[in-house]
Amino acid sequence: MPPDQAFYLERWKRRMIAQLGEEGFREYSLNIFRQGKLFHAAIEDTLTQETSSKEDHECPAEVSGYIESVSNVLNDITGVRAIESAVHHSALQYLGIVDCVAQYRGSLCVIDWKTSEKPKPFLRQTYDNPLQVAAYIGALNCDHNYNYQVENGLIVVAYKDGSPAHTHFLNSEHIMPFWEKWLLRLEEYVEK
């Protein structure tokens, strides 16, 4: 993580601890993590169900707002190829877990599902998420377990209150600068 982002993250953490206390912040963090896991599981269940309607799927009450938030996005997703699937870039020696690989409005994408308490209508508000998507695309395209290539990414930001999710589509032209930035970040990490 770049020093400026680490600074802002640490500042946010200190502000939250001042507001909630150490134990309260720990509980808050665990709850956020748990909701993220439940949200991803609900997305997986929705995308892998046998019935044709993605809207009629039951999900835990804790994440129903997030699912409502992404309902319109789910209607644009077809041809799911992978969900919660490991990818490995053997040449660059990194790996990750891709949330989803599927068609979004006719384009094959690595899809990254995010939850947020604050609206993120602009890509810059997703911080390093585009780097993560670029890294996943690079790993998937070099992983011999996948017999296809992906050029596009999609970041979907879901909201607990059910307000419509923000989608950030990244075609190959948009992904390339993030891939280059990821390579620099990876090089810095390896050198440390």
CATH number of residue 185's parent domain? 3.90.320
Domain that holds residue 131: 3-191
Rounded mean pLDDT, 119-137? 96
pLDDT value of residue 1: 65
Rounded mean pLDDT, 121-134? 95
Rounded mean pLDDT, 129-133? 97
The answer to whether residues 133 and 170 touch, using CB atoms and an 8 Å cutoff, is yes
Residues recognised as catalytic: 99, 112, 114
Q: What is the pTM of this model?
A: 0.87
Rounded mean pLDDT, 126-133? 95
Tally the domains of the chain.
1
Q: Please say if the pLDDT value at position 138 is more than 80.
A: yes
Highest mean predicted confidence (pLDDT) among 16-25, 49-58, 82-91? 82-91
Q: Is the dihedral angle over the CA atoms 55, 56, 60, 62 positive or is it negative? A: positive
**pLDDT tens for each residue of 39-79:** 999 999 999 886 555 555 577 888 999 999 999 999 999 99
Contacts of 3 (CB under 8 A, 6+ apart): none
Q: Please say if the pLDDT value at position 3 is more than 80.
A: no
* Cβ-defined contacts of 177-185 (< 8 Å, 24+): 178/130, 178/131, 178/133, 178/134, 179/134, 179/135, 179/137, 179/138, 181/131, 181/134, 182/131, 182/134, 182/135, 182/138, 183/92, 185/2, 185/131
Burial zone of 158 (CB within 10 Å; 0-12 exposed, 13-18 middle, 19+ buried): buried
pLDDT value of residue 136: 98
Distance CA 161, CA 178 (A): 30
